[in-house]
Chains A and B, each alone.
Chain A
Amino acid sequence: MSLCVLEEETFRHCCRLILQQSEQLRDGWSWESVQSVLVASAGADSIQGDIDDEDDDADEGVCTVSEGSSQVLQYEYHILYSCSYSTPVLYFRAFTLGRSLSLQEVWSSVHSNFSFRLQNSPLNTITQQEHPLLGQPFFMLHPCRTEEFMRPVLQVAQDHNRPVNYVLTWLSVVGPMVGLDVPLKYTTSHY
């Protein structure tokens, strides 16, 4: 059971390792600490110090993908930690010519191999949701099946006594479905 539970501390650690790699690969990931509302809203006399939030951290990456030759789509990806499901969650949005893509347009940019798989499992589909830290509309892949597909991977890693970066492994599964490729270089280095 505990094998598949991602504690928040582990999530942070995994993200730190990804960031170290990302700095060398220069593919644009950054760590954004969202300040807690508690501090922001409180009067000066009652500030309690930085309040550490369950899910106040997000890894952000922006990458640009060309679609054909005419249209450039810009994707923005956020990796958040869900304390309800104890899993990472991928949020993203996409722009073209300054306007954001609709859900339909996002679906049409998903490769047909993936869209078949996604649509067949309604719980694992792309929906528009409020970004829990920014309050803005984002698309997301629902996390409630994450444990299911992560379990075999983590089991094999454990059986062979191999260290595994949960977040990186997870990202390499869910990322490509929505246009985010994880370079192989991330996994060839030592952790």
Chain B
Amino acid sequence: MVACLLCCVVDNRKVSLPLDLGVCVLGIYSLCATGGRSSMADDKDVLRDVWFGRIPTCFTLNQDEVTEREAEPYYLLLPRVSYLTLVTDKVKKHFLKVMKAEDVEEMWFEYEGTPLKWHYPIGVLFDLHASNTVLPWSITVHFKNFPDRDLLHCPSNSVIEAHFMSSIKEADALKHKSQVVNDMQKKDHKQLWMGLQNDKFDQFWAMNRKLMEYPTEEGGFRYIPFRIYQAMSDRPFIQKLFRPISPEGNAHTLGNLLKEMYPTAIPNDGEPKRYQVVIHGIEPLLETPLQWLSEHLSHPDNFLHICVIPTPTD
């Protein structure tokens, strides 16, 4: 519990508005862990809290864009589990009001010089690039000089849908050898996508729970779909095969995963902590079972996105 409280404090300092849910997700899980039994109701709350996580954001037009009059900044609560290009129609409309059509090319976003990859979930972008900074998150909007070398084009929502479904399929290939996703019908796939697109928690989870099932005797998925990101790296992420259960039958934890994939992220005894391991804006305990994290803290794309960021020095 003490470790938990520490985490909460860190999170509170970072988030001034009661919008980030780190505190309650962590609180609930620690109850399960210390109580020795997990309650279904509590776990369902975790799914809700993850789904409804929001980041207050201020969009500002890039100074070099040609406008007819000054562009006011635009404020929005961004859903952590969605994608930038899926939830910024209003931002685009807002800035187009002050621009001539011939000055408008494909819209893209940047944070402090880094082009933001729309195909990563919004929460991952925030945790990776803007953790421990002041809110609202300040994003610059561009309509020119699309950085071809860094960003994927996103001409329509169908591109986001294809990307999202391809992630779900890859995750299911890891979890169930693609059996669950292949047994679904086209309308089931559509239900997952529409649930995300329209922010319908119940619609999404009515289908997604099938992707979270596994044979009881196996104790978990075949492999855990995860990606580990770090800010200061040319390599976009680490993704390998990792099982939720050890050959001896013990549950693997977040700590076990990091020890194998990214050992420097775990502090040595007696040394100051150099890295924060962040999922959905919180630092889960390293003792948390990986299977539980995969079922509850995965993004809608069914991957567990883990950010490793330097501990703030101040």
In the complex the two chains form, what is the Cα distance from A137 to B163 in whole Å? 13
Annotate A89-132 by CB proximity to B: 1 below 8 A, 0 otherwise: 00000000001101100000000000000000000000111101
Given contacts A37-B230, A38-B263, contact A137 B148 (CB under 8 A): yes
Q: In residues 121-179 of chain B, which contact A (Cβ within 8 Å)?
A: 148-153, 159, 162-163, 166, 169-170, 173-174, 178
Whether B117 contacts A128 by the Cβ 8 Å rule is no
* B contact residues around A184 at 8 Å (CB): none
Within 8 A of B (CB), among A36-52: 36-38, 40-43, 46, 48
Shortest A180–chain B CB gap in Å is: 22
- Asked whether B153 lies within 8 Å of A102 as measured between CB atoms, the reply is yes
Bound state CA distance, A42 and B149, in angstroms?
27
| Chain B nearest CB, measured from A49 CB (Å) | 11
Contact between chains at B153 and A136 (CB < 8 Å): no
Nearest residue (CB) in A for B234 is: A135
Interface residue from B152, B173, B234, B241 paired with A137 (Cβ < 8 Å): B152
Residues 8-56 of A contacting B (Cβ, < 8 Å) = 34, 36-38, 40-43, 46, 48, 53-55
Q: How far is the CB of B16 from chain A (nearest CB, A)?
A: 31
Q: Mostly helix, strand, loop or mixed at chain A's interface? A: loop
Residue in B153, B235, B261 whose CB lies within 8 Å of A133: B235
Within 8 A of A (CB), among B204-250: 225, 230, 232-241
Q: How many residues of chain A get a CB closer than 8 Å to chain B's CBs?
A: 32
Closest approach, in angstroms, between the C-beta of B51 and any C-beta of chain A? 25
Interface residues on B, range: 20 to 34
Q: Given that A34-B235, A53-B240, A128-B153 are known contacts, is A42 also in contact with B119, CB under 8 Å in the complex?
A: no
A100, A102, A132: which contacts B236 (Cβ < 8 A)? A132
B178 and A41 form a contact (CB under 8 A): no
Complex formed: what's the CA distance from A53 to B238 in Å? 9
Q: Is the CB of B178 within 8 A of A83?
A: no
- Residues in chain A near residue B236, CB distance under 8 A: 130, 132-135
Contact B169 A136 (CB under 8 A): no
A128 and B152 contacting across the interface, CB-CB below 8 Å = yes
Q: Give bound CA distance, A43 to B230, whole Å.
A: 15
Q: Which residue of A lies closest to B274 (CB)?
A: A43
Q: Given known contacts A34-B235, A84-B170, A130-B117, is B264 in contact with A46 (CB within 8 Å)?
A: yes
Inter-chain CA distance A129–B178, complex, in Å, is 20
Whether A137 pairs with B170 at a CB distance below 8 angstroms is no
Is A157's CB within 8 Å of the partner chain B? no
- Supply 18 A–B pairs (Cβ within 8 Å), ascending by A: A37-B235, A37-B238, A38-B262, A38-B264, A40-B233, A41-B233, A43-B264, A46-B263, A84-B174, A100-B148, A127-B162, A127-B166, A129-B152, A130-B152, A133-B235, A134-B236, A137-B148, A137-B151
* Additional A-B contacts beyond A85-B173, A99-B148, A128-B153 (7; CB < 8 A): A38-B262, A43-B264, A48-B263, A132-B237, A137-B148, A137-B150, A142-B166
Question: B residues near A, CB below 8 A?
Answer: 117, 119, 148-153, 159, 162-163, 166, 169-170, 173-174, 178, 225, 230, 232-241, 261-264
